[in-house]
Every structure is written in C-alpha cells, then in structure tokens.
Amino acid sequence: MKRGDIPVLHGIRGCLAVWVMLGHTLDACGAYIPVLSAPGVAVYAFMVMSGFLMALHFRLREDREPWANYRTWLMFYVRRLFRIAPLYYLVLIIAFTFHNAYMAHYYALQALFPLWFIHPPLAIPNFGFSSLLLHATFLFGFIPSQSDNNILPDWSIGLEMQFYLLFPFMMLALRRIGAFWFALTSLAIVFLTQTHVPAFPQPSFLAFVLTTFVVGIFMSEAWLHDDRLKSAMLLVLAIFLASIRLPFMFQAIPLAMIFLINFPQLFAELKLTTLGGISTRLLGGRIGLFIGDRSYSVYLIHMLILVPLVSFLATMPRFAHAAPTSRFMFTAPLMIFLCYAFSSITLVLIENPFIEYGRKAVNHWRSHGGRSRPPP
C-alpha cells in the first residue's frame, strides 16, 4: 500500500455523506434522532478530512512538484477544479432551472412536518442569473445573501474552493513560522471574524471556520512525521483547535479520525486487533470504497432527490399522518437506493472522466516542463 493511500478514509468519507443525507431526510420528515439530526457536524468533519488529504498529498508530491514552483500551484488548482466543478455545475443548473418549484416544496414540507428549530422565510430567495454567476465562480460564499439561497447544500463547496485557493500559501506559511504560531494565527483569524458570522445563514466564509481545515492539516503532519514526540504535539494542537469555537460533538471527530487513520499502530499497541480488523473490513473494504467513491455525488444531489420524493409521499394520507419517525423509516431506504443509484451514474459519466482528464492535463503539462498548455 502506498503511503498516501489510507483505505479507511474511504469509509469515513462515505459515512459522513450518509450522515448528511439521513440528517436532511429527518428534517424533511419532521423527525428527530440524536446525533443523526446534526448533519452540520458531518460537514465540519468533511472539512477536517479535506485539510488532511490536501496536506498529505501536497507533501507526498513535493519531490516532483516543489512548493516554490508556481507550476505546482497551478497543477494543484487544475486537479481540484476538475474534481469539484463538473458535477457541481450540473446540479447547479438543475437547481437554477427548477429553483422556485424546489424551494416552494421545501418550505411547504417545513410547514407540514415542522420541527421547533425551523423558521421558513416569508418569500422564496432570489436566485437569478447574477446569483448563478456568483455560484459558478464560487464567489457566493463571501456574500451573506448568496450563501444559502438555493436547494443545494453548496455553501460548503464554495468554502472548499476558498480553502483550495489559499492552501499553497497556508502550507508555505506553516513551514516558515512553525505549527504553534500557525495555529495561533489561524485561531486569531477565526476570533476576529466572529462578529460577522450572524450575518451569514451558513458559515460560508473561510475565515469563520479556518481552524477546522487546520485541524486536518495538523493531523496529516502528525501522520507523516517520523518523530513520535513531535507527532504527538501536532495531534495535541489539532485537538486543541477542534475544541475552540466549534460544535461540542465535533470535538470527538478528530479523536475518532486520529484513532481510525492510525489504526495499524494504535490497535496493535492497545491490543485491539479484533476491533482493528472490523474497522479495516468495514471502512477500508469494498463497502467503504463503494460509499466513499460516491460521497461527493451523494452530498451534492441528495436534496434534489429528497424534496420531490417527500413532497410526493406527503400527498398520501397514510404517510402524512404517520408518526415522524415512521415517515423517516419509510423514506430513508428509498433515499439510500435513489441517491446511490444516481451517484453511480454520475461517478461513471461525469466524475471519473473529468478526474482522469485533469490528471492527463497535469501530466502533459509536467512532461513539457509547463511550457505548453494542457490539451484542450
């Protein structure tokens, strides 16, 4: 197994996507189940994983892609754009085309199956061509009125793109000033921007949640470090940052991810080989790979499926008058089947081909020393 290949991460990523999907399904059905009804925590965990993976692969490629070379940065941006943008643009067009219908049904469901924390707006948010342009360019996260104005949970997609834009600068800064000062600087940025958070329906501006990504970066640095003491210090910093200005449940996620990512050593030292084998088979095996490969698509498309599905089911009196948990138990299997069926299609037709195209473009450019453009 290559050093950058951590099979257990496939399963973790897949489980987080399931958490988001089922959490929103609970919401649409007016039901509540502890932990599962907090899909936002899973989104924070996605940010941690993004920081971890970006830092991990950035360091592993350093020999052939030096950080000081501007071409390294451009190749990084090309890879991430081809990974994120194609499928996002497809679902964005769908959300834009059917915006009024989606939002009208979404608010109708909130009124029909209410939860105490839901407060539907008086009018459908505007999502015109200017909004479409802001979302297509990933600039919408900087504008409060645009951060949560359509059916997609895409506020985190814009957040990811902001992180990708700054990531090479962050890695250079980490190397220059060291982990301790980097952590304090990140924390200071988060604290200084907190007064602006209430203006945003979602924390779609990177400065609000910067430490979440930094937690992942520190976890990666610890995982790669040969010095066990320095590795432990980095993990302490990661746990400290996770405990500051983040949801209470989120604080346990870095601990769980640290445990799972490092399971070969930890399980052996703690003599938990049976637990290690179970984790390997479930999260790092075929099931983990299956749900992990489809996690991005499931995250993006599940609201496009959920709203019309529950709206249709709500027209049936037996469903509409059932207990909230019963509605969820009936809807959840349908959502799982439909989301993974459609995600399998988008994986084959959209995600994998564009990822491969991005890889070929980068390889072509690298082989020509960056002197020629990637193939059209």
pLDDT at 222: 85
Q: What is the DSSP letter of 140?
A: G
Q: Tell me which of 34 and 117 has the higher pLDDT.
A: 34
pLDDT at 119: 56
pLDDT band for position 372 (50/70/90)? Answer: very low
User: Residue holding tokens 């870095």?
Assistant: 254
pLDDT at 246: 57
pLDDT at 249: 57
| Helix (H), strand (E) at residue 176 | helix 155-177
Q: Identify the CA nearest to 162 among candidates 69, 12, 51.
A: 51
pLDDT at 272: 47
Q: Lowest mean pLDDT: which of 15-19, 184-188, 218-222, 223-227? A: 223-227
Q: What is the DSSP letter of 375?
A: P
pLDDT at 139 over 80: yes
Q: Where are the alpha helices (DSSP H) in 270-351?
A: 273-283, 286-293, 295-313, 317-320, 324-346
Q: Identify the CA nearest to 11 among candidates 55, 49, 54, 51.
A: 49
pLDDT at 116: 56
Spatial distance between the Cα atoms of 243 and 284, rounded to a whole number of angstroms = 28
Spatial distance between the Cα atoms of 252 and 23, rounded to a whole number of angstroms = 18
Quick check: helix, strand or coil at residue 251? helix
Q: Where are the alpha helices (DSSP H) in 98-178?
A: 99-112, 129-136, 155-177
pLDDT at 131 over 70: yes
Summarize pLDDT for 235-291 with one digit per residue, the tens. Answer: 888 888 887 765 555 656 656 666 555 545 544 554 445 444 556 667 778 888 999
| Helix (H), strand (E) at residue 19 | helix 8-29
pLDDT at 105: 94
Average pLDDT over residues 62-83: 86
Question: In this structure, what token pair is assigned to residue 238?
Answer: 């990661």
Q: Where are the domains of the chain?
A: 8-367
pLDDT at 326: 96
Summarize pLDDT for 150-167 with one digit per residue, the tens. Answer: 999 999 999 999 999 999
Q: Say which residues have a Cβ less than 8 Å from residue 141's Cβ, sequence separation at least 6.
A: 147, 155, 158, 159, 161, 162, 204, 205, 206
Quick check: helix, strand or coil at residue 371? coil
- Return mean pLDDT, the chain: 86
Summarize pLDDT for 13-27 with one digit per residue, the tens. Answer: 999 999 999 999 999
Summarize pLDDT for 316-368 with one digit per residue, the tens. Answer: 999 999 999 999 999 999 999 999 999 999 999 999 999 999 988 888 777 76
Average pLDDT over residues 128-135: 95
47 close to 299: Cβ distance less than 8 angstroms? no
Q: Taking each helix axis from N to C terminus, what angle separates 8-29 and 252-261, rounded to the nearest 10 degrees?
A: 150
For the chain, the 3-state helix, strand and coil shares in percent, each to the nearest 5, are 75, 0, 25
User: Residue holding tokens 């909230």?
Assistant: 324
pLDDT at 4: 54
Spatial distance between the Cα atoms of 329 and 218, rounded to a whole number of angstroms = 39
User: Residue holding tokens 């600068």?
Assistant: 169
pLDDT at 258: 60
pLDDT at 124: 85
212 close to 189: Cβ distance less than 8 angstroms? no
Q: 316-333: buried (b, 16+ CB within 10 Å) or exposed (e) per residue?
A: eeebeebebeebbeebbe
234 close to 240: Cβ distance less than 8 angstroms? no
pLDDT at 1 over 70: no
Question: In this structure, what token pair is assigned to residue 267?
Answer: 């399980």
Q: Tell me which of 119 and 16 has the higher pLDDT.
A: 16
Question: In this structure, what token pair is assigned to residue 154?
Answer: 């895409």
Spatial distance between the Cα atoms of 26 and 252, rounded to a whole number of angstroms = 23
Spatial distance between the Cα atoms of 206 and 220, rounded to a whole number of angstroms = 20
